[in-house]
Amino acid sequence: EAGVTQSPTHLIKTRGQQATLRCSPISGHTSVYWYQQALGLGLQFLLWYDEGEERNRGNFPPRFSGRQFPNYSSELNVNALELEDSALYLCASSRTQQNTEAFFGQGTRLTVV
């Protein structure tokens, strides 16, 4: 069974540009989570999607947005990039059931120059 896949692995953008990050969950998983992890810091929750709907949002500005498609894959869009947006962006998927864990992709490392 394929795991959570994220693309691209690395992304370099300049300030003010837009970045689009993609995530394909494990088959059968309807929930997708996005996290930001700046170098040396902990996971910061960005967004949670389930069944195509945004369920919850972390404390990030509106230029961080995303969506979930009918096949449960997801996109994270970051507009008007700032240097501080440089981080590892991790996607996780899970089933909407008790006692089932979430699985992470390997992440997209975004560098804003």
Q: Which residues bind another protein (CB under 8 A)?
A: 31, 33, 35, 41-45, 48, 50, 55-56, 88, 90, 92, 94-107
In the bound complex, what is the minimum distance in angstroms from residue 99's beta carbon to another protein?
5
CB of 16 to another protein, least distance (A): 27
Of residues 40 and 70, the one with the C-beta less far from another protein: 40
Nearest to 24 by CA among 44, 7, 46: 7
Q: Which is nearer to another protein, 27 or 106 (CB)?
A: 106
CB contact at 8 A, 66 and 49: yes
Task: State in angstroms the smallest separation of the CB of 24 from another protein.
Answer: 14
Q: Is the CB of residue 34 less than 8 Å from the CB of residue 95?
A: no
> What residues contact 48, with CB distance under 8 A and at least 6 apart?
31, 32, 33, 34, 54, 55, 56, 57
